[in-house]
Amino acid sequence: MEIRITDGRIISAEAGESIYEALKNIGIYLVASCGGKGVCGKCRVKIIEGRSRIEATGKLKKKDRDENIVLACQTFPEENILIEIPEDAKLVIGDKIAISKSRGLLEFLRSVEPVFTPPVKCTVLDLDPPTINDNISDLERIKKALDDKGIHGMRFSHDFVSSMSKALRDAKWKVNLAYSDNLEAFALSPAECMNEYGIAVDIGTTTVVLYLINCYDGSLFDVGMTYNSQMRYGDDVITRIVHATEGGGILELRDAVVDDINDMLLPILDKNGINRDDVVSAVISGNTTMSQLFWGLDPSSIREEPYIPTINIFPVWRAGTSKVRINPQAPVYTMPSVGSYVGGDIVAGLLASGMHRKSEIALFMDIGTNGEIVVGNNEWLITAACSMGPCFEGSGIRHGMRATEGAIESVKIDPATFEPAFGVIGNTGPVGICGSGMIDAIAELFFTGIIDQKGKFARDLNTDRIKIGDEGPEFILYRGELKDIVLTQADIENVIRAKAAIYAGVSVLLKEVGLSLDIVERVYIAGGFGNYLDIDKAIMIGMLPDLPKEKFSFIGNTSIAGAYLCLLSQKMRQEAEGISRKMTYMELSVLRGFMDEYMSALFLPHTNIDLFPTVKEAYNKRI
Amino acid sequence: MEIRITDGRIISAEAGESIYEALKNIGIYLVASCGGKGVCGKCRVKIIEGRSRIEATGKLKKKDRDENIVLACQTFPEENILIEIPEDAKLVIGDKIAISKSRGLLEFLRSVEPVFTPPVKCTVLDLDPPTINDNISDLERIKKALDDKGIHGMRFSHDFVSSMSKALRDAKWKVNLAYSDNLEAFALSPAECMNEYGIAVDIGTTTVVLYLINCYDGSLFDVGMTYNSQMRYGDDVITRIVHATEGGGILELRDAVVDDINDMLLPILDKNGINRDDVVSAVISGNTTMSQLFWGLDPSSIREEPYIPTINIFPVWRAGTSKVRINPQAPVYTMPSVGSYVGGDIVAGLLASGMHRKSEIALFMDIGTNGEIVVGNNEWLITAACSMGPCFEGSGIRHGMRATEGAIESVKIDPATFEPAFGVIGNTGPVGICGSGMIDAIAELFFTGIIDQKGKFARDLNTDRIKIGDEGPEFILYRGELKDIVLTQADIENVIRAKAAIYAGVSVLLKEVGLSLDIVERVYIAGGFGNYLDIDKAIMIGMLPDLPKEKFSFIGNTSIAGAYLCLLSQKMRQEAEGISRKMTYMELSVLRGFMDEYMSALFLPHTNIDLFPTVKEAYNKRI
């Protein structure tokens, strides 16, 4: 039998095999925290054609069932079928782009520290077996050996001591002692067999990314990406904090994201044949609210004036406390935050950009569900944040998706025929559109006059690319065999609001420090875009300031990149804390002028087009 | 209705009141870990006369029921009854002797440290509330305040941080931060209301003693004593270690003793109106096996050559880990051990004796289920241990009991009539006989010729004080209305074996360091005796070496005394660790000559009576 997917892929399924299993066999992983037992209700797919046997519907609502949504793990094709996989049911595992990008980081890291120093360190202890004349206790024997190595002040937990004596004897007194940066012993293993894997996790408001890393050679084993299930409680941090203040809300939010991490981790470990107990360190990177929720800490004071987080520089706690299913004793390092709306993801971003090490004044912009801006250099850093919504991460956009295989990432529209051409990540058929594709598309729609300065569709154009959909006019980017890919009026308005917020943030922050744009020697653009962002187009829609193109560096998901650096290097962890302490954090909401700047930026590119001289020139030329 | 007890006490009971409640109302506490719900099966009493309604028999065996044993909490008198309370069902609470003894310790402590420093320290933090311009995180605000006070390097657990932000706001930013010696923050409370209670616990192989202490003024609030329920798994440490090696044995042993502690703690806290969460520190003192079992650590290597404990100097762990029901975050300090058979109780004893501070050479003997001996001074200390059995703690002796109210503690026998006279603790009617009473009685029995050098009863004496009981001849110390108090042939043999073991230990240890007895300037006798031990009698039976009486100091239960000192003073905790590190530990079992010495000492006072010149002289005079 065949299962066809609306993205064009066709896979074969054995009789008696569930859709979940058939997809998994060719490397399409669905979210399923229960591991395919029909319990969690997450592996939802829509049956468009064909007959299947449905064994159970679990937590599916009647509305879902009426729309032919089924649980893939409980549904068994009885003939050829056609299915659609909702974006939020997909796990992305083994992303090639991420793996190729990690190589640059690795080279940088090797230049900083020749030997990697993950949050778990190891030291081999070759102990003399006790005798009747050398009868000190097992723990004192370990302490003495550590003293001899110049390692003083180690702490030993009850868990450690409980298994210590047997481990020493099993290993015949030659052991590998694993301990954390802050000198907490956490495991003993026979000296010859210490497998050391670590994970770096970027908890975005919209997406969660996980790297599985070999801490010996720094290589990126595998990558997972999924949507943050906290989205069911709200699109942005504010609505989630509101949910957290309701009874049990904090734990719901924590469990949601920890489940997401475990959902990714399980198939990745499975696929690579790695035991969870061999994953012995973790770094978590996220904005302040995400980091606090990950640890189950009440985020409510983040939302209330004077906007105070519980914690900026996190102690190293254990994986068991977080419920992430790696070795429960593994130390978990949390990227330090700066303030309520500038979190560890931004500190990670700065670390990956390296701007905190250089004397040139740079502007750092992280474009995600939250937009964060940093200005400064190796001497000073100032930062602020604004809310953008999840559009650039593919959420809240009709055919939006993350910058993974099948995403339209660049668009060109013929000004005469209005026919679009586009580039797709992975050079496959298009499945949806990612952030950079949206920016391109809107710039082109604007430039070709299909939409006006306010982003509204022109009514009098002679093209069948514009049609009236359920929610107003929309532009057909791609006519698919099974479905079209469109950009709707609402999609465009979402993007314009997002770009206005970040542009206003940049303007206000520069004003606050009394700098003009031309002082800025470099602009780092971070965010979940693919490997392509057309700077000209981003300037054209007024998202980026109108600076010479060569000043811009597109640096991708720096939250995960910084987490990766910190997983492998104690020096990087120290620099991260230095960045956190050094950065001055401004509350945009209390800075006068932010709302004015935002309103002015709700146009393409801006109400004051003189701020965008190159756009003005190009636009005038066009006319 | 009346309930008469075989010890002579008579109490009144309301209709519908259980025996358990009636006893509790006049301050007789029975062991009942379930709190009187008929579940734990511990509050056993024997009904000798009278009719009662028995609601349930819970875990009682048929054999028990046949002997009219009932659960006191499930049994309701319907007329006047007579009951017997087995020794191991009694909790002793509010012991007056212990409370009076604590005063001397308190005076000593005040001379060492004017302000008490329990394992939990407190510091008041008067924080500035955050503002939009002073928007550091809550944790960084606390760290800053600590830095200002010169307290650096505090560690913050996830538990602490989880409740921190609310606690700060509830207390309006003026808080009392509680933290441990090793700088782990453990609780915040409003600055004005920090109740600070602590417990010191002596875990003996046979008995468990608990002090509830006010850590502000050092006063002893209350005392509890009970038998160690681990006894059901064996009388001495060796049989318990054997039990621990059987499946689940470690946890059974741990639970048994932790239940004993909680059983005492509950009524004591209840009686004194103290909330368990206000008990914020604990010190545990016990021999090495007891300490390891308290923490659930496998003791098996203690028993196997080369006899290695898992741990001597214990980290400070939390009460929650131990399951002792005080504040779960409370730090628990464990008295450091020296070796497999010389534990924290001996370090506590040395601390209480003060011999480690003086230049005179002293001999320290702790007489309990295990006998430990220390020789040395402020420069050197050497120690060894031997097994004595639980007889001096009242166990394994027909009418044995602890040195509490009602115990016969001194005995005098008329050499002509063989009629005994005795002193009873608390000057009440006699209920049983404690360790010092046994020593007295055996010395008198020997001196009056009722028993011979081997401890065997003479067959030809004209007295009705000797009768033949179920287990051979026995001496009637007291003819009670309800029951007699006797000393049996087996009781006497038990005591002789115990005294032989400790005497042999002293001889071998002194030989090992090449010292003769006359170098010893002081002998400290520690153990669970009452406030009376007749040195002459102890020498007469050959338990103590024949030295001038003025060299002996009887210092009581020094294990609990040392624990009390360490609960109140960081300096004492440091000294305890110093003692543990300094002491040289000898294995008696590998010292040649121990068994010979032991065999020679199985006589009264010794096969070589020339070692006891004063006894020889007195005995000869008598003849």
- What is the reported pLDDT for B462? 87
Place of tokens 């004017």: B114
- pLDDT tens-place string over residues A138-161: 999 999 999 999 999 999 999 999
Contacts of B298 in chain A (CB under 8 A): 165-166
- What is the reported pLDDT for A37? 80
Q: Which of A127, A133, A135 to mutate to test the interface with B (most CBs of B within 10 A)?
A: A135
Q: What is the percent of chain B where pLDDT is above 90?
A: 67
Tell me the pTM: 0.83
A132·B585 Cβ contact <8 A: no
- What is the reported pLDDT for A623? 62
User: Smallest CA–CA separation between A288 and chain B, in Å?
Assistant: 11
Residues forming beta bridges with residue A342, ordered by sequence position: A339
Residue A88 has pLDDT above 80, yes or no: no
Of A166, A296, A301, the CB nearest to B298: A166
A132·B297 Cβ contact <8 A: no
Nearest CA in chain A to B159: A321
Of A169, A312, A315, the CB nearest to B137: A312
Give ∠ CA B156-B157-B161 in degrees, rounded to 5: 75
A137·B164 Cβ contact <8 A: no
Residue A115 has pLDDT above 90, yes or no: no
Residue A412 has pLDDT above 70, yes or no: yes
Of A135, A156, A585, the CB nearest to B308: A135
Of A155, A295, A311, the CB nearest to B137: A311
The span from the CA of A68 to the CA of A222, in Å, is 33
Question: Omega of the bond prior to B118 within 30 degrees of 0, cis?
Answer: no
Q: Which of A127, A128, A131, A140 to mutate to test the interface with B (most CBs of B within 10 A)?
A: A140
Task: Tell me the average pLDDT of chain A.
Answer: 91
Higher pLDDT, A364 or B393: A364
The span from the CA of A247 to the CA of A296, in Å, is 13
Those residues of chain A whose CB sits closer than 8 Å to some CB in chain B are 130-132, 134-140, 155-158, 161-162, 164-166, 169, 182, 295-298, 301, 305-313, 315, 317, 321, 337, 339-340, 585, 587, 590
Burial class (CB in 10 A: 0-12, 13-18, 19+), B108: middle
Contacts of B321 in chain A (CB under 8 A): 158
- pLDDT tens-place string over residues A241-283: 999 998 889 999 999 999 999 999 999 998 899 999 899 999 9
Residue B519 has pLDDT above 90, yes or no: yes
- Contact in structure between A176 and A190 (CB atoms under 8 Å): yes
Task: Tell me the average pLDDT of chain B.
Answer: 91
- What is the reported pLDDT for B8? 81
Closest CA to A211 of A293, A103, A98: A98
Nearest CA in chain A to B301: A165
The mean pLDDT value for B52-74 works out to 89
B131·A162 Cβ contact <8 A: no
Of B307, B312, B317, the CB nearest to A158: B317
- pLDDT tens-place string over residues B460-483: 888 999 999 888 999 999 998 878
Nearest CA in chain A to B313: A140
Place of tokens 């475990």: A262
User: Smallest CA–CA separation between A380 and chain B, in Å?
Assistant: 17
Give ∠ CA B55-B61-B63 in degrees, rounded to 5: 110
The mean pLDDT value for B601-612 works out to 95
Longest dimension (CA), chain A: 99
Which two tokens mark B499? 């005294």
Contacts of B135 in chain A (CB under 8 A): 306-308, 339-340, 585, 587
Of B165, B310, B590, the CB nearest to A137: B310
User: Smallest CA–CA separation between B155 and chain A, in Å?
Assistant: 8
Residue B589 has pLDDT above 80, yes or no: no
Those residues of chain B whose CB sits closer than 8 Å to some CB in chain A are 130-132, 134-140, 155-158, 161-162, 164-166, 169, 182, 295-298, 301, 305-313, 315, 317, 321, 337, 339-340, 585, 587, 590
Of A132, A138, A139, the CB nearest to B305: A132
- pLDDT tens-place string over residues A517-557: 999 999 999 987 755 788 999 999 999 999 999 999 988 89
Of A305, A308, A317, the CB nearest to B138: A308
Q: How far is CA B217 from CA B102, B195, B284, in A?
A: 12, 12, 20
Contacts of B580 in chain A (CB under 8 A): none
Binning chain B into helix, strand and coil, the percentages to the nearest 5 are: 35, 25, 40
- What is the reported pLDDT for A98? 67
Longest dimension (CA), chain B: 99
- What is the reported pLDDT for B195? 61
B132·A313 Cβ contact <8 A: no
- pLDDT tens-place string over residues A571-623: 999 999 999 999 999 888 777 789 999 999 999 999 999 999 999 999 888 76
User: Smallest CA–CA separation between A586 and chain B, in Å?
Assistant: 9
- What is the reported pLDDT for A538? 94
The span from the CA of A584 to the CA of A339, in Å, is 9
Q: Which of A158, A287, A293, A585 to mutate to test the interface with B (most CBs of B within 10 A)?
A: A158
The span from the CA of B107 to the CA of B26, in Å, is 33
- What is the reported pLDDT for B530? 55
Could you give phi then psi for residue B22, rounded to 5 degrees?
-60, -40
- Decide: helix, strand or coil at residue A293: helix
Contacts of A161 in chain B (CB under 8 A): 295, 297, 310-311, 315
A with B: how many residue pairs have Cβ under 8 Å apart? 122
The span from the CA of B61 to the CA of B187, in Å, is 46
The mean pLDDT value for A472-500 works out to 93
The mean pLDDT value for B71-84 works out to 92
Contacts of A295 in chain B (CB under 8 A): 158, 161-162
A164·B310 Cβ contact <8 A: yes
- What is the reported pLDDT for B554? 86
Q: What is the percent of chain A where pLDDT is above 90?
A: 68
B136·A312 Cβ contact <8 A: yes
B137·A308 Cβ contact <8 A: yes
Could you give phi then psi for residue B264, rounded to 5 degrees?
-75, -40
- What is the reported pLDDT for A92? 78
Contacts of A128 in chain B (CB under 8 A): none
The mean pLDDT value for B426-444 works out to 91
A310·B139 Cβ contact <8 A: yes
B161·A301 Cβ contact <8 A: no
Q: What is the percent of chain A where pLDDT is above 70?
A: 97
User: Smallest CA–CA separation between B381 and chain A, in Å?
Assistant: 16
Contacts of B584 in chain A (CB under 8 A): none
User: Smallest CA–CA separation between B85 and chain A, in Å?
Assistant: 39
Residue B152 has pLDDT above 70, yes or no: yes
User: Smallest CA–CA separation between A538 and chain B, in Å?
Assistant: 33
- What is the reported pLDDT for B528? 73
Q: How far is CA A300 from CA A132, A239, A240, A425, in A?
A: 60, 11, 10, 39
The span from the CA of A340 to the CA of A351, in Å, is 19
Q: Which of B165, B332, B382, B586 to mutate to test the interface with A (most CBs of A within 10 A)?
A: B165
The mean pLDDT value for B111-132 works out to 90
Contacts of B313 in chain A (CB under 8 A): 139-140
